[in-house]
Amino acid sequence: MKIAVVGSGYVGLVTGVCLADFGHDVICIDKDQAKIAALETGVVPIYEPGLSDLVNANVAAGRLSFTTDLPSAVRDADVAFIAVGTPSRRGDGHADLSYVYAVAREVAAAVSGFTVVVTKSTVPVGTGDEVAHIIRTVNPAADVAVVSNPEFLREGAAIEDFKRPDRIVVGIDDERAREVMTEVYRPLYLNQAPLLFTDRRTSELIKYAANAFLAMKITFINEVADLCEAAGANVQEVARGIGLDNRIGSKFLHAGPGYGGSCFPKDTTALVKIGQDFGSPMRLVETTVSINDQRKRAMSRKVIAACGGDVRGKTIGVLGLTFKPNTDDMREAPSLDIIRGLQDRGAKVVAFDPQGMEAARHMMENVTFAESAYEVGEGADALVLVTEWNEFRSLDLDRLKSVMKTPAFVDLRNVYRPHEMRRHGFTYVSIGRSDLDPGERISDAAE
């Protein structure tokens, strides 16, 4: 099949390269000339494990190319994916659909012959209807079927997720699109990935419901973590104790500094707005959004408390800036709020992230960027582990302690064990765990 993918960001690029890898003839489009120029010279402008190799292999095989020329790419396509951003609209939190609608207008003017236009961007219920309306208005002669096909990949594991999805959701209201979409995803279908056909509105809502549910799950365990701290319990064991129940499941039960990233914050806020628009409020999601917003800032207070209640003039080292490991994506990362909160109270911040510093430089001020975790530690009054990159999981604790001014360690991802940190001479604070390990608590109780 000939496939055009409009928008070559995290989702568009991964979609394009994976579909090319399935054997389709794919052209990825972006209006960002620098991005396309980089891709044309084999440079992938985002960090996503395995993406660069897969792009280069498919370009070499002649199945993948790049352009800024949307009309010529879409003219020849059987399928045109829309994979542009749908950020929060400034001021009100609705999904900003201006990029999607702009592409719909351009696609409408360019299509020839029967074309399936697939919205892969995360969009509110009813957006597909509006895209179809725009296309009919711009080009009444266009023969198109507008399909919803939300994407569920996770940054950091995007290729694996795209190639081995739990399910593929396709929302159609034109039967001709069913055959085309089955063909697009045939390799996955043969691998037993369930292809769930539904109507367009249901498909649009599935994406928001999925993200909101996961965000609620994270927020739930974060609140349980606070309760554990207050009550002297251990959130990791609570998470294991409930996660082994198949009805609950163990994923997304890791307490931390609050969810961030390019999807959960904007999608939960958008779902709240969608609910309000339909007069059917999503109150659990409203509460989730509010708890999570407060939590990120509360994490800076946790650090300040670990420093004896005052960080003025102190140097705080931050390990990890991106919203999760294995990405360079800094959108809505908890580190942004935590660092701002520390700076507001007079702290100097030194930070290191294996991939995120380039993006972070444009998003934070007065931060000194270091080259390694140990450089961050030099002269620091405290260290805060914000993102659980693998290289922060096995730090040389003696070396770290020897370069720090005060050996205080705030572990917002529960990477280390309290007794191990104490043994190395650190004052250690984590999330939802008392200072004692389970074994220690049991022997305490026995005494």
Ligand X SMILES: NC(=O)c1ccc[n+]([C@@H]2O[C@H](COP(=O)([O-])OP(=O)(O)OC[C@H]3O[C@@H](n4cnc5c(N)ncnc54)[C@H](O)[C@@H]3O)[C@@H](O)[C@H]2O)c1
Q: Tell me which residues in 109-138 interact with ligand X (CB under 6 A).
A: 121-122
Looking at beta carbons, which residue is closest to ligand X?
Answer: 9
* Residue range at the interface with ligand X (CB under 6 A); choices 79-87, 108-116, 140-148, 189-197: 79-87
**Cβ-based nearer residue to ligand X, 259 or 352:** 259
Nearer to ligand X, 30 or 388 (CB): 30
Identify the residue among 151, 229, 381, 388 touching ligand X (CB under 6 A): 151
Distance CA 207, CA 274 (A): 13
Contact with ligand X (CB under 6 A) among 28, 77, 83, 272: 83
Torsion angle of the four alpha carbons 47, 53, 56, 58, in this order, in degrees rounded to the nearest 10: -110
Find the part of the chain contacting ligand X (CB under 6 A) among 82-90, 242-250, 343-351, 384-392.
Answer: 82-90
Distance CA 132, CA 142 (A): 10
Is 49 in contact with 10 (CB distance < 8 Å)? Answer: no
**Binder to ligand X among 103, 108, 169, 205 (CB under 6 A)?**
103
Q: Which of these segments, 26-34, 174-182, 212-220, 383-391, binds ligand X (CB under 6 A)?
A: 26-34
The distance of closest approach from Cβ of residue 28 to ligand X in the complex, given in angstroms and rounded to an integer, is 9
Q: How far is the CB of 68 from ligand X (least distance, A)?
A: 8
Query: 245: which 2 tokens?
Result: 């129940």
- Tell whether residue 355 is a contact of ligand X (CB under 6 A): no
The yes-or-no answer on residue 263 being catalytic is yes
Comparing CA positions, the residue from 278, 344, 338, 337 lying closest to residue 310 is 344
Task: Rule CB under 6 A: choose which of 17, 36, 47, 85 binds ligand X.
Answer: 85
**Nearest CA among 216, 257, 259, 253 for reference residue 238:** 253
CA-CA distances (angstroms) from residue 374 to 113, 249, 351, 435?
60, 37, 11, 25
Closer to ligand X by CB, 6 or 253: give it. 6
Rounded (10°) angle between helices 127-138 and 98-110: 40
Q: Is 243 exposed, middle or buried (0-12, 13-18, 19+ CB in 10 A)?
A: middle
The set of catalytic residues is: 263
Residues in touch with ligand X (CB under 6 A): 6-12, 29-32, 35, 83-86, 99, 102-103, 121-122, 151, 153, 155, 262-263
